[in-house]
A and B are shown apart, each in its own frame.
Chain A
């Protein structure tokens, strides 16, 4: 604890940077990985994964 000397601005910079890091990881790393994983499962014959992907593919998202 003694070695930490965070102030208000340094704290804000860290939390903002961390939040953007999470957004980046979510969009470009974790989501694609998760989708690949479910596809692999479906291809390997997992019934639940196949059903899920079927529902997801047939889903039509309406914004209004």
Chain B
């Protein structure tokens, strides 16, 4: 049917498009159904997978170090199993045999790194045994199951004398033993690891006297996978409640069905696309599909509401009502979808693969709503029977509509507007006060993914309490040459590093080669405590290492030092992974490295007038010329490449402007070579001095769980503010094109910005940190609130063209579009708030957080935006007054009524 009736001139193309979609309903439907089936087929092949490497910012220097050394020195994926006895000690044949079998069982779990298991029952954990004739061997603590009490007592004695075991793998009260295993990153099948650990190392060994606790990242994700079944419960409950609500709202089952079609099609396209780009579903991101589907449903509700309205306006003409609702809502709906889709894309900025894939997926999924809602909408309505006129009429006189009308009436009075402004100012001031406590990273020591009383967090806390710290921070000492780790000064520096960092309250204990060499030296000298030191000679150190490591294959010793003794590590076991603690520990590590470097160079540096100036040169560091370079001399030479008052302007090609840039420059320059070119300013002239740094190895941050979390947190800090800015800027740009006004975006974004501050304040108060999991959800929430305002503003413009009066137009917009927005917000808040029933604390908190976010955005769009429009009379709305195209008979009747 041609458009043989009058339509607004400026939307004629949209009316034409809506009409043509109905004309070509059959081919369009077939294409959409076929494509949807294809996407659904791909979507059905999705699996729940968490790829650990995708969670890391791969370009970060810590992650590069982590990736290089995790295979030998240990990664971030450790499982800790603690066996604790109530009565007696672990040193009985029965308990030791349990530890033996548990260790053997753990060694058989899929993905375990067989050379990185620490347990008194594992072959790699050894102690020094002095045999008859004075020969010494490093032998495993246990060689098999224990038969007698005497054997158990011998093991106890060995453990008590081994500094690398007592307190680290056996508690100081002898009541608990720790088994620690590292898992290979490429083989992390969390569900399988969870069940195999239970079968092999937990369930068969628990009894009245023995409790077994399991913690560590693979276990944590294992628990998360165990709880993913919650999603079905939430799906069923929200589906049923949403259907009931929509049915009650529209007084018709078609009103319940129509948005479902949109949601299901968008979901099929979204899930299919996730599979298509090679991504899997992360159980911690399951809130996201719900949220996007809820958005699709909410657009459909707007459309359905408008369809009823146009059906009445058009004199019960179904086709005209379909075309009019399509054309009139086209602009706000497309703008809403675009802001959501492009707003999410800013997550691409964070260099974390998982987040980048998520940004692309979410963006596509949201864009798919244009097909499922906008393109298909006229066709679906065309196929469905129109609603009965009495139903439409009765609905307009229902309690919900009357309630909305009363609220709007009160809001647009002088008192109502004053209360609105005062309330928003007060709420914002309160939020700004609380938002200061928002943390990057985890704000608590327990895992935020699960509840505090979950079995995982109970186990984690118990192990932390018993052993002081189990979350590793690995600092690699990479030598410039082979045998660098046999250098006494290097070992002393590692020991000094340990003692310095151990002063931090968040560090439980630490371990390095220095601990081994001291223990071996003591055993070598008949356990005399005074020999528990690092020898002063390179030869002595080499001999002791030979004694300790000679009986072990390189695969076993590689976790301490590489076979050429070039590279080793200092591992700090931290008590928790709170964001603030990680930041402080990393800062202290950097500070120690900087201080030790300047001490070795004999320099005291300070910032002076925007330059780094040498404040003092130590007399105990002597230098001599070796060709064109300076090297540290063991003799008194009286020469030095540095003078007090010299300003360091560059190291190699790296400019030095302050102490921070000096720290970065010296680490960069000495990462793999010992020659450093110092560019100095001496008495107004430029001097260049080439120095051979006196240290044998460079400390490099950072691996282990704490190192990887530090990298992720640093990236989040770097990108969080930028993402927020770009998110808002993108939305503002879309508003600029939608309304051809610079101010339009400000009116619509104001409630969103305030909602953003309030949600961040809520996160701060509730102890929810910004981390790699919360960030994407919070960013998605950022854009979702704008739709509400868009529908109100667009309807206000539409009405002012006919009515001419601003306040009257705002009232009409709030009573019509505002009614649908209110219902949409209610249903969306309900569908997300049901996530609070999830056993996964993260999902529960994110569900509640997003529900609060949408609620605040909704309240803002229904109160602050209209009040600001009425008070400030923006030109992008008032310029449209009385500029409507000539009214058709149909419109005239509607206005008169």
Contacts and interface: CB of A to CB of B under 8 A. Distances in A.
A47 B232 CA distance: 49
Interface string B379-398: 00000001011110110010
Given A11-B236, A35-B390, A61 B316 contact: yes
Interface stretch (B78-86, B253-261, B348-356, B415-423): B253-261
A27 to B, nearest CB: 7
B389 A26 contact: no
B386 A61 contact: yes
B247 interface: yes
Contact of B316 (A8, A34, A60, A64): A60
A11 B232 contact: yes
A59 B243 contact: no
A61 B321 CA distance: 11
B760 to A, nearest CB: 30
B390 A38 contact: yes
Given A1-B233, A53-B390, A26 B316 contact: no
B321 to A, nearest CB: 10
Interface string A3-36: 0111110110011001100110011000100110
A6 B390 contact: no
B403 interface: no
A14 B390 CA distance: 32
A4 B294 CA distance: 24
B390 A63 contact: no
Contacts of B315: 62
Contact of A52 (B252, B253, B318, B393): B393
Given A22-B253, A23-B253, A59-B316, A38 B240 contact: no
A11 B244 contact: no
A1 B230 contact: yes
Nearest to A62: B317
Given A52-B397, A56-B390, A11 B235 contact: yes
Contacts of A11: 232, 235-236
A62 B318 contact: yes
B23 to A, nearest CB: 11
B251 A34 contact: yes
A34 B394 contact: yes
A43 interface: no
Contact of B318 (A18, A55, A61): A61
B371 to A, nearest CB: 23
Contacts of A53: 390
A15 B237 CA distance: 9
Contact of B236 (A6, A23, A38, A63): A6
Secondary structure type dominating chain A contacts: helix
Contact of B389 (A10, A19, A38, A56): A56
Contacts of B1: 64
Interface residues of B, number: 33
Interface in B258-316: 260, 315-316
Contacts of B229: 4-7
Contacts of A14: 236, 240
B837 interface: yes
Contacts of B235: 11, 15
B386 A63 contact: yes
B857 interface: no
Contacts of A64: 1, 318-319
Contacts of A19: 243, 256-257, 260
Most buried by B among A14, A15, A52: A15
Contacts of B70: none
B839 interface: yes
Contacts of A34: 251, 391, 394
B233 A61 contact: no
A26 B240 contact: no
Contacts of B236: 6, 11, 14-15
A43 to B, nearest CB: 15
Interface string B703-739: 0000000000000000000000000000000000000
B742 interface: no
A52 B312 CA distance: 12
B479 to A, nearest CB: 54
B400 interface: no
B16 interface: no
A31 B244 CA distance: 15
A52 B243 contact: no
B876 interface: no
B314 to A, nearest CB: 9
Contact of A26 (B252, B390, B394, B397): B252
B239 interface: yes
Nearest to B385: A63
Contacts of A8: 232
A23 B250 CA distance: 13
A21 to B, nearest CB: 9
B228 to A, nearest CB: 11
A23 B247 CA distance: 9
A15 B389 contact: no
A6 B315 CA distance: 47
Contacts of B251: 34
22 contacts: A1-B233, A6-B229, A7-B229, A11-B232, A14-B236, A18-B240, A19-B256, A19-B257, A19-B260, A22-B247, A22-B253, A22-B256, A31-B388, A34-B391, A52-B397, A60-B316, A61-B318, A62-B315, A62-B317, A63-B319, A63-B386, A64-B1
Going nearest first, the 4 A-B pairs with the smallest beta carbon separation are A56-B390, A6-B232, A59-B389, A26-B253
Given A18-B240, A34-B394, A56-B393, 15 more contacts: A1-B837, A4-B229, A4-B232, A11-B235, A15-B235, A15-B240, A18-B239, A19-B257, A52-B390, A52-B394, A56-B388, A56-B390, A61-B316, A63-B319, A64-B1
Interface of B: 1, 229-230, 232-233, 235-236, 239-240, 243-244, 247, 251-253, 256-257, 260, 315-319, 386, 388-391, 393-394, 397, 837, 839
